[in-house]
Amino acid sequence: MRINRLMILLVISGAHTSYATTIGSDSVVTRIGFQQPLITGDRVAGATVLEAGFKMADVNTNALWDSFFQITGIADWNCGTLTLFKDLTFSDTSGAIRNLGNIVGNGHTMSLAPTMSCIPDVISTSTVVPTGGGSCNASLTFATDLPTAKDYYSVDWSYDSAFVVGGIRDNPDQFNIWQWNNASLTPVANIVFTGAQNTILQATRWHPSQFFLAVGILSNNYTDSNGATVNEIAIYQFNPFTSATTLVSSVALAATVGAVSLSWSPNGNFLVVAQVTQAGNNATQTQLVSYPVNGSGIIGAAASTVTIPQTGNRVITSSSTGHTASVSFHATGGFVVAGVATDSTNPQVYVYVYSQITGLFTAGPDATATVRATNGTSTLAASVNGVSWNKTFTNVIAVGNTSNNPLQLWSYSPGSLTYLTPPINSPLTTNVVYALNWRSDGTCLATADAMGDTTVYTFNNITNVLTQNFLGAQGGIMLDVRYSPNLGYLAADNHNHFIYIYIAGNSISGTCSNNCGIISNLVIEMSANMCLQQCLTFSGVCFIKGYDKCLTLAPHATIFIAPNSSLAFEDVILREITAGDIVCLDNSGTITLQNTTWEMDGNYTFSLGILDIVGDVHMVGEDTIFAYQSSQQCTIEKSSQLILDKAVTFSYAPSTASRDLLKFVDIDSKLVLNNATLFSTTTGIRLTHGELLVNGHSYLTSDATVPSQGITFGDGVSSSQNFIVHWSPASVLELTRGFVNYSNIGS
């Protein structure tokens, strides 16, 4: 202990500013009855009792916890960092965590109070008004100008609202990624495209729940700054720790076909791309093509294609403005709306029925509409530049166009689109609207126009009226605009070389909304059922010990496991898990589930890293899929069992062609099907040295077209690798599709 204390003093002496101090005493019990302010270098001493919690100064604060005593009251990280040299234990009587930042655990334990129902306890001071409209005030907070003449044509936020991408046309075209820290943008990555021809970068869009970035281009066979050969549709993976940005897959189109606009399905499993066949500056054919994208960012063959009916219609070509926002999804993923560029004789907005489960369009548009040049007329506008589907009031579609009526609202019901008139409650500029985007709560609409304006409107869903709240006149031509997923910020770009960031209201996760707290080498002990309401990244060796309590993931909560790190859930009931909620950032991360229940609220993909099953692990969620797509091992340890409960499907779909990634350590390692399904892709799965237990009516199914692609029991070589199948009384195991191979030896 003396050695540790000396080390602490050395650290403090090096880190203290002239005004940092030791809080309390190491030898005399000191009780502090007010919320203790903490600045960088402050140390809460060994005999100090904080009876009203603490509050760090700001995001840059790094304070030290060295007290033996429990803490009572509100612990407000204010997005700062607390380094533990003792366990941090919250009082049984009261305690709350607010604005959680970073914790350097050093192997210590943080024991949560029974009174804690959520972390953080407060997530928003904003008011979302579901009916009647709310406030959508905005203010310019940051602008970045490029040192050379580069024109931005698209902009987007990462799903955690921490990174911004800007797509540039400059011959060579390129995209930049910046980190946003609530005050400024810091450049972290740049990918430049070079080749024999101008690439004409059209669109950049982040994946809705992972650090994948989709890029749409009008030409193919170019080289990026990493030396990779890239084609018209490309998926890059971004590492938020190292900023490494790497091509993981791309799709080559025909020489005269370009990718002009793209949109991810809400579940992130498919990418819908607007593709045009070009003849000079005209598009002779426009198609919407649905591509599957697996959890590793690999694009598959097109799942479905629909052709816009009229020859000559087009969704964006290589015009001087390069509009990027012409395809938008309904919040459920059940419909896609597409805006169509110049054609003076045909309807220009189309809605298609779509399934984000299968990636299939229903043939032919479900509804079409004529975009009007002026209110109350049937005269067509010259061009549709952008469409955006309201994610809350899901009948409403906003359309930006080239006409005297450049901002329009349309109401969709199955089979029809109805023009909503008049949509404006205050003077509306007649400037051409190039892009628009609804805030995800549905109350605010932002537009980017030809005169360099970024305009924000409040939407009243009762009267269908838009009221202008903010007008940012930046000059140039504004070409794209996007709300951050946390609702707090608005990004816009123009081709005068600028990216603009606006404060757009209170974010959904409080003041730490754009910081994913980093928890390193820490054990977290739960004392009650609770929810997580923010993003956390676990680094080093970390544990969450639940003692059979429930941990519910709120809609905007995400758990990341950093490279070369592990997170073990022990005796936890994990609830409301959906795609992207718990993610390894690369294949060196490990998630351990020990005597844990994994309750899915929707389909989930395990795309990167290692999964370790210890004890009894239940996967629950009727009609949900746990898709194992990692190239690494999933191990069921000795005396352990992975139990799939009613109507759960375990989908074996690894990103590499290996049949042996589901490993059973010993013969008493079990996979249990309780009225559940085991599925395999054409890769096939080989189960050895373990046991399958069938309860109720369970299923085996695969995409296999030949036996070698099927589900195989045993390795056909050694009896030590036999895989045993047991049925409970009155149980059935049904093969619904594909092949099963019985390759056990001597049994």
Indicate whether 409 and 261 sit together in one domain. Answer: yes
- Output the six-digit token pair for 317: 């070509």
- Looking at residue 552, its pLDDT comes to 95
Mean pLDDT across 661-679? 96
How many CA within 13 A on the CB side of residue 200? Answer: 20
Which residues make Cβ contacts (< 8 Å) with residue 18, sequence separation at least 6?
Answer: none
The CATH number of the domain holding residue 431 is: 2.130.10.10
Indicate whether 417 and 315 sit together in one domain. Answer: yes
Whether residue 569 is contained in a domain is answered as: no
Task: Answer whether 327's CB lies under 8 Å from 340's CB.
Answer: no
Indicate if the pLDDT at residue 429 is higher than 60: no
- Looking at residue 473, its pLDDT comes to 75
Task: List phi, psi (to 5°) of 689.
Answer: 55, 40
Whether residue 418 is contained in a domain is answered as: yes
Among residues 446, 473, 503, the one where a domain terminates is 503
Indicate whether 224 and 348 sit together in one domain. Answer: yes
- Looking at residue 428, its pLDDT comes to 55
More confidently predicted of 146 and 110 = 110
Indicate whether 499 and 591 sit together in one domain. Answer: no
Environment class of 11 (CB within 10 Å of its CB; exposed 0-12, middle 13-18, buried 19+): middle
What confidence category does residue 527 fall into, taking pLDDT thresholds of 50, 70 and 90?
Answer: very high
Indicate whether 472 and 612 sit together in one domain. Answer: no
Mean pLDDT across 310-333? 60
Question: 3-state DSSP call for residue 19?
Answer: coil
Indicate whether 491 and 603 sit together in one domain. Answer: no
Indicate if the pLDDT at residue 665 is higher than 60: yes
Indicate if the pLDDT at residue 326 is higher than 90: no
Indicate whether 485 and 607 sit together in one domain. Answer: no
Among residues 448, 480, 503, the one where a domain terminates is 503
Asked, as a colleague might, if the bond just before 654 is cis with ω within 30 of 0, I would say no
- Looking at residue 279, its pLDDT comes to 66
Indicate if the pLDDT at residue 510 is higher than 50: no
Mean pLDDT over each residue of the chain, to the nearest integer:
83
- Looking at residue 170, its pLDDT comes to 73
CA separation for the pair 417, 369 (Å, rounded): 6
Whether residue 405 is contained in a domain is answered as: yes
Task: Answer whether 362's CB lies under 8 Å from 295's CB.
Answer: no
Tokens 């190039």 found at = 434
- Output the six-digit token pair for 664: 């059973």
Indicate if the pLDDT at residue 739 is higher than 80: yes
- Looking at residue 373, its pLDDT comes to 59
Task: List phi, psi (to 5°) of 6.
Answer: -60, -40
What confidence category does residue 231 fall into, taking pLDDT thresholds of 50, 70 and 90?
Answer: confident
Indicate whether 596 and 480 sit together in one domain. Answer: no
Mean pLDDT across 468-484? 81
Least confident segment among 39-43, 400-404, 730-734 = 400-404
Whether residue 566 is contained in a domain is answered as: no
More confidently predicted of 560 and 202 = 560
Among residues 503, 525, 557, the one where a domain terminates is 503
- Looking at residue 125, its pLDDT comes to 35
The domain of 624 spans 583-747
Indicate if the pLDDT at residue 664 is higher than 80: yes
**597, amino acid identity:** T
Whether residue 593 is contained in a domain is answered as: yes
CA separation for the pair 693, 234 (Å, rounded): 42
Q: Tens digit of pLDDT for each residue in 383-400?
A: 778 899 998 888 899 988
- Looking at residue 672, its pLDDT comes to 98
Q: Which of 652, 660, 608 is CA-nearest to residue 626? A: 652
Q: Which of 625, 616, 612 is CA-nearest to residue 566? A: 612
Least confident segment among 11-25, 213-227, 484-498, 550-564 = 11-25
Whether residue 42 is contained in a domain is answered as: no
Indicate whether 484 and 598 sit together in one domain. Answer: no
Least confident segment among 142-146, 175-179, 247-251, 467-471 = 142-146
More confidently predicted of 592 and 504 = 592
More confidently predicted of 431 and 167 = 167
- Looking at residue 346, its pLDDT comes to 57
Least confident segment among 221-235, 380-394, 615-629, 666-680 = 380-394
Indicate whether 612 and 485 sit together in one domain. Answer: no
What confidence category does residue 525 fall into, taking pLDDT thresholds of 50, 70 and 90?
Answer: very high
CA separation for the pair 633, 652 (Å, rounded): 12
Which residues make Cβ contacts (< 8 Å) with residue 596, sequence separation at least 6?
Answer: 546, 569, 570, 571, 572, 573, 574, 615, 617, 618
Indicate if the pLDDT at residue 144 is higher than 80: no
How many domains in the chain? 2
Task: Answer whether 655's CB lies under 8 Å from 293's CB.
Answer: no
Least confident segment among 16-25, 149-158, 246-255 = 16-25
- Looking at residue 129, its pLDDT comes to 31
- Output the six-digit token pair for 336: 């896609």
Mean pLDDT across 410-417? 89
Percent of the chain with pLDDT over 90: 46
Least confident segment among 228-242, 663-677, 704-718 = 228-242
Indicate whether 489 and 626 sit together in one domain. Answer: no
- Looking at residue 315, its pLDDT comes to 46
What confidence category does residue 430 fall into, taking pLDDT thresholds of 50, 70 and 90?
Answer: low
CA separation for the pair 17, 734 (Å, rounded): 70
Q: Tens digit of pLDDT for each residue in 77-108?
A: 988 899 999 999 999 877 889 888 899 999 99
Q: Which of 219, 243, 242, 245 is CA-nearest to residue 232? A: 219
More confidently predicted of 391 and 732 = 732
Q: Which helix (H) or strand (E) holds 6?
A: helix 2-15
Whether residue 551 is contained in a domain is answered as: no
Task: Answer whether 284's CB lies under 8 Å from 247's CB.
Answer: no
CA separation for the pair 565, 583 (Å, rounded): 12
Residue 110 DSSP label = E
CA separation for the pair 214, 658 (Å, rounded): 27
What is the 3 state secondary structure string of 236-256?
A: EEECCCCCCEEEEEEECCCCC
Indicate whether 480 and 621 sit together in one domain. Answer: no
- In sequence order, the β-bridge partners of residue 694 are 673, 727
Residue 5 DSSP label = H
What confidence category does residue 317 fall into, taking pLDDT thresholds of 50, 70 and 90?
Answer: very low
Whether residue 524 is contained in a domain is answered as: no
Q: Tens digit of pLDDT for each residue in 560-590?
A: 998 889 999 999 999 999 888 898 988 899 9
